[in-house]
Structure formats: C-alpha cells, structure tokens
Amino acid sequence: MGSKLIIESEAQIEIEKAIEWFESKQVGLGEEFYNYLDGYFQTLKNGKALFQIKRKPAFRELPLKRFPYIIIYEEYQNQVIVYSLFNTFQDPTKKMK
C-alpha cells in the first residue's frame, strides 16, 4: 500500500502557476506538465524511490528531468508531504522561505 500524498497550499499555488505558464507558451503543454508531474507524485506515493535529505530537518528534493523544477517534500509516517514545487531558474536562496 502506498503513502498518502498531501500537497501543501503553497505548493498547490506553485503547481497551478507552472501549469498556467507552460500553457501560455504552448497549448497543451500545461496539461502535459501536469501529467508528467503526476507521474513523479505516483512514484513518491508508491515509495519506489527514496531521495536523500537535502535540508534539515528532513526535507528531500526530487528533480524533474524534463522540466526545470524540484519537488521539495518530506516523508512522515505514512504520508508524503509536498511543500514546494521549486523552479530551478529562480534564485536558490528562495527555496522554502
């Protein structure tokens, strides 16, 4: 059985902004990005990959291969909590502030 996926409100806003941005660049690209991102969420939920802790206390980072984003998340009990979908073109000091 997989973990429960929880997407924090800030991460949800970042996801929506990314979808809107990609859709504004090319019709259908926003949906393609969402489907691609959902595949990563499924990997996290199924526990098929464990990524190293990058920030204390226990934040992990999962970089997307096709799009310039990093999923910042934490595994806690039987939950995967997504805190941010960070655009890697941004200033890295803005991560999870």
Q: What is the CATH number of the domain that holds 33?
A: 3.30.2310.20
Q: How confident is the model over 34-53, as pLDDT tens digits?
A: 999 999 999 999 876 666 66
Q: Report the domain count for the chain.
A: 1
- Residue 14 CB neighbours (<10 A): 20
What's the pLDDT band for 94 if we cut at 50, 70, 90? Answer: low
Which amino acid would we find at residue 68? P
Tell me whether residue 36 is in a domain. Answer: yes
Q: What is the 3-state secondary structure (H, E, C) of 26-95?
A: CCCHHHHHHHHHHHHHHHHHHCCCCCCEEECCCEEEEECCCCCEEEEEEEECCEEEEEEEEECCCCHHHC
- Across residues 3-31, what is the average pLDDT? 96
CA 96 from chain centre, in angstroms, equals 12
Three-state DSSP state, 8: coil
Is 16 part of any domain?
Answer: yes
